[in-house]
């Protein structure tokens, strides 16, 4: 069942590594985002020893884990932002004419290896911080980190999918949905405790950015959880991911229904 996607993926990988020179530049370019993020945190923490209960090290960990999650989601699901182009040109119908579900086809249509640069940079940063931050490394702790990255990626992937689904209705909606997705990513970098009430609710329950890295890090470092939440809240990321995906898939199905209902 997975075979078709593997073949397609192999084909695209081959096509991309064919261009060596610009590949290197692209990797370099994608690392730029990591560097910017680290600098941002640095200049913020140059003025205060802790923010929202996190030290610079902890904040860097939150940033790094969120960064890795986002880059993995972008690596596999990033092609979804090409959907408006397919819809406009009519090439989308080709997906409907094949005996495969549409969403995996769209996702698998391109695998941008160059986005790996961000994944590597983020992983290096995360490893460095984890090494120096003084955690007692139990299997549970390691498991939490792995789970966080996995579910964080799933959450961002769900956001990409929901944003793509919106494109079936909004003609030029790409930028608006991008604000939510990238806004969510940006919000995930900072401790959610600095956000005022409504914003915190938005980024915890509507766009579950807090579950991507902040809450898991609190649990991992045994820091006090936000008021009203249990100390093991960091283990609930899978629930947030499941919820995000449920909504994303419902939205996608509705979007497809809308497309076949109105025609192109």
Partner 1 sequence: MIIEVSQLRRYFKKVAAVDGLTFGVERGAAVGYIGANGAGKSTTIKMLTGILRPTSGTVRTCGLEPLRQRRRLARRIGVVFGQRSQLWWDLPLRDSYRALGAIHRIDHRPRLAELAERLDLGSFLDTPVRQLSLGQRIRGEVAAALLHAPELLILDEPTIGLDVLSKERLRAFLVEQRAAFGTSLLLATHDMGDVRRLTERILLVDHGRLAYDGTLDGLARHAGAERTLVLDLTEPAAPLDAIPGARLVGVEAGGLRQRLSFAPGSTTVAAILAAVAATAQVHDLTVEEPDIEAVVRELYQSPSAATSAGVPGRGLAASPPAFPVRRDGARP
Partner 2 sequence: MWPTLFALGFRRWSAYRTAALAGAFTNCVFGLIRSAVLIAVVGTAGGALAGYDRATAATYVWLGQALIGPVQLFGWSELAQRVRTGDIAIDLARPADPMLAYLAADLGRATFALLPRGLPPLVVGALVTGLALPHTPAPYALGLASVALATALSFACRWLVNLSAFWLLDLRGPMTLYLVVSGVLCGLVVPVHWFPGWLAAIAAATPFPSMMQAPTDVLMGRSGSQTLVVQALWLAGLLGAGRAGFALGARRLVIQGG
Site for partner 1, rule CB under 8 A: 3-4, 6-8, 11-12, 15, 89-91, 93-94, 96-101, 260-261, 263
Residues 64-123 that bind partner 2 (CB under 8 A): none
Q: Which is nearer to partner 2, 79 or 114 (CB)?
A: 114
Place of tokens 């609930």: 236
The answer to whether 188 and 214 have CB atoms below 8 angstroms apart is: yes
Separation of first and last alpha carbons in the chain? 30
Q: Residue 50: beta bridge partners?
A: 55
179 in contact with partner 2 (CB under 8 A): yes
Q: Which is nearer to partner 2, 34 or 237 (CB)?
A: 34
Residue 204 Cβ vs partner 2, minimum distance, rounded to whole Å: 13
60 in contact with partner 2 (CB under 8 A): no
Chain centroid to Cα 127, Å, comes to 19
Q: Residue 55: beta bridge partners?
A: 50
94 binds, among partner 2, partner 1, none (CB under 5 to 8 A by kind): partner 1
Query: Contact with partner 2 (CB under 8 A): which of 7, 44, 94, 254?
Result: 44
Residue 164 Cβ vs partner 2, minimum distance, rounded to whole Å: 16
137 binds, among partner 2, partner 1, none (CB under 5 to 8 A by kind): none
If DSSP codes are grouped into helix, strand and coil, which group holds residue 60?
helix
Burial, 101: exposed, middle or buried (Cβ in 10 Å; 0-12, 13-18, 19+)? exposed
The answer to whether 149 and 234 have CB atoms below 8 angstroms apart is: no
Burial, 1: exposed, middle or buried (Cβ in 10 Å; 0-12, 13-18, 19+)? exposed
Residues that bind partner 2 (CB under 8 A): 21-22, 25-26, 28-29, 32, 35-36, 39-40, 43-44, 46-52, 172, 175-176, 178-180, 182-183, 186-187, 190, 193-196, 199
């Amino acid at each position: 069942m997975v075979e078709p996607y593997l073949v397609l993926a192999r084909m695209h990988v081959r096509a991309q590594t064919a261009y060596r020179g610009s590949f290197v530049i692209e990797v370099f370019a994608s690392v730029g985002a990591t560097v910017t993020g680290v600098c941002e945190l640095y200049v913020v923490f140059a003025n205060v020893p802790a923010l929202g209960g996190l030290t610079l090290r902890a904040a860097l960990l939150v940033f790094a884990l969120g960064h890795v999650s986002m880059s993995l989601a972008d690596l596999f699901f990033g092609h979804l932002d090409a959907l408006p182009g397919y819809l406009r040109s009519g090439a989308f119908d080709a997906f409907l004419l094949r005996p495969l579900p549409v969403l995996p086809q769209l996702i698998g249509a391109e695998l941008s290896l160059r986005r790996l640069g961000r994944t590597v940079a983020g992983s290096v940063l995360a490893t460095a911080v984890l090494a120096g931050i003084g955690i007692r490394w139990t299997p549970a702790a390691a498991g939490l980190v792995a789970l966080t990255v996995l579910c964080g990626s799933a959450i961002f992937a769900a956001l990409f999918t929901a944003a793509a689904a919106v494109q079936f209705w909004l003609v030029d909606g790409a930028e608006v949905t991008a604000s939510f997705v990238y806004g969510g990513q940006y919000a995930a970098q900072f401790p959610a405790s600095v956000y005022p009430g409504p914003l915190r609710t938005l980024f915890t329950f509507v766009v579950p950015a807090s579950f991507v890295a902040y809450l898991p890090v609190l649990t991992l470092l045994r820091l006090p959880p936000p008021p009203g939440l249990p100390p093991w809240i960091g283990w609930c990321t899978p629930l947030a991911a499941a919820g995000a995906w449920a909504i994303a898939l419902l939205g996608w199905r509705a979007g497809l229904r809308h497309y076949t209902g109105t025609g192109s």
